[in-house]
Amino acid sequence: MSSTQMVLSTRMVKHMEKGSCILTVTFILIFTSVVQGQHDPGRVKQNLLKGVVKILLPPDESGDRRAGTGFLVSKEITRNGHTYRQTFLVTTKHMLGDWNLADGDIARYHNGFEVFFYRTTTMSGRSYEPMKISLSDRNEKIKDKVYLHPNGKIDVAMIALDEELDPSNRIDLITFDVGDLLPFNKIISSNIGLGDQVFAIGYPLGITSLRDNYPFAKFGYVASLPGTQLVIEATWQNRKKEIIKTNAEGKIILLDGLIVVGNSGSPVVLPAEMKSRVNAETNSLEWTPIKNQVIGIVSGGWSMAGLTVVYSSDYILELIDLYLKETHKKSN
C-alpha cells in the first residue's frame, strides 16, 4: 500500500460515523501487517536458519551415512557472580544411538557424529564446515555433556556444547533463546489450534544447499488438539526383531503432513504472521502477532497415516533444568 492510499483512507475516516470506527482500526492493523511483511518477508524468518544444523551419522554396515537435524538453544546463566550464555545442541535420542519406542533406551551409542556448524571463515571458502562431536570417551562411556530425557518414551536429547564453541573454531553462533520455546499448555493461548499451519526446519533426506548449508522449511498442519496429552498405541520392532505393541504418549503434537527421514531433530516453529479472531464477548475483530516460536521437535511418523510425531518443547526445557541441577551440584 502506498503512502497516498494511506492519506486517502485517513481523509475517509473524517466522514465515517462513530459506529464504523472499529473498521478503521482494523484497516490500520492490516496496513501495519503488510508493511512489516514487506520489510521482513517470509513466514519463517531468515535469521533463524543458522540456528539449525545438519547432523551426519557415521557409516552404517552398508556404508551409507544417514543425515538428521539439530538446533541450537541457549540460556543465560548466572553462577558464583559470573553470567554467561550456555549453548545446547538439541536433537533426538535416535540420532545418538539405537533408541526406539519399543526398547525405550540406548544400548549402543554412536561414537560421535559430524555437525555442520556455520563459520565466520573456512579453509574451503564456504560459510560452513563439519565438526566431529564425540559422544563417548575412550572407555566407550557416554560423556557427561550428553543428556537424555529420563522418560524412555520421549525421543529428545541434548548436548551441552563447550570446547566446540572455542573462538578458534570460528563458529557463527546463532541460537534460539529458551524464551523462544513455547510450552505445551500455552500453544492454544497463542491462538494456534487444529488445522493451523506450522513449519519443520531441517534437512529432509539430507538435502542441503552446497552454497550456504541452510535448512529447508517443510509445512504441516496441527492434527491433534494442542495442550492435550496423547496416548497412541503403536506397533514397533524391538532390538530382538520382535514386533510388539507399545504406546507413544505424553506431550505430543501430531502434524498432518509426513516429515521425511533427515527431518529427525527439526524444530517445529509457528509461522510469523498477524492472526485475526473475533472476540466472542465483544464481537469485535482482534489481531495477534505470532512469532517463530518453537513448539516442539520432530521425532518420526506413521507414513500410512501421513502423520508426524512432534515432542513438546517442554521436554527440552526439562533437560535444560536437569543440566542446571547437575552442574550446580558439581560446582558445590
Same domain, 71 and 211: yes
Residue 161 has pLDDT above 50, yes or no: yes
Same domain, 151 and 270: yes
Q: What is the pLDDT of residue 40?
A: 63
How far apart CA 245 and CA 52 sit, in angstroms, is 34
Q: What is the pLDDT of residue 287?
A: 81
Domain that holds residue 177: 46-331
Domains: count for the chain: 2
Residue 13 has pLDDT above 70, yes or no: no
Percentage with pLDDT > 90 across the chain:
61
pLDDT tens, residue by residue, 210-243: 888 999 999 999 999 999 999 999 888 999 999 9
Residue 179 has pLDDT above 90, yes or no: yes
Residue 178 has pLDDT above 80, yes or no: yes
Same domain, 242 and 320: yes
Confidence of residue 16 (pLDDT cuts 50, 70, 90): very low
Q: Do 291 and 270 form a contact (C-beta atoms < 8 A)? A: yes
Same domain, 106 and 235: yes
Q: In the predicted model, what is the mean pLDDT of residues 12-33?
A: 37
Same domain, 19 and 95: no
Cβ count within 10 A of residue 83: 8
Q: Which residue has the higher pLDDT, 80 or 85?
A: 85
Same domain, 34 and 53: no
For the ranges 82-86, 256-260, 303-307, the maximum mean pLDDT occurs at: 82-86
Q: What CATH number corresponds to the domain at position 69?
A: 2.40.10.120
Percentage with pLDDT > 70 across the chain:
87
First to last CA, the chain: 60
pLDDT tens, residue by residue, 289-315: 888 999 999 999 888 889 999 999 999
Alpha helix positions (H), the chain = 3-13, 21-39, 314-331
Same domain, 11 and 80: no
Same domain, 65 and 191: yes
Q: Which of 43, 218, 229 lies closest to 154 in space, CA to CA? A: 229
Same domain, 77 and 160: yes
How far apart CA 52 and CA 283 sit, in angstroms, is 41
Q: Which residue has the higher pLDDT, 130 or 11?
A: 130
Same domain, 231 and 113: yes
Measured in residues, the chain has a length of 332
Q: In the predicted model, what is the mean pLDDT of residues 7-14?
A: 34
Same domain, 11 and 157: no
65 CB-near residues (< 8 Å, 6+ apart): 56, 57, 58, 59
Residue 190 has pLDDT above 60, yes or no: yes
Same domain, 87 and 18: no
Confidence of residue 39 (pLDDT cuts 50, 70, 90): low
Confidence of residue 9 (pLDDT cuts 50, 70, 90): very low
pLDDT tens, residue by residue, 239-255: 999 999 999 999 999 99
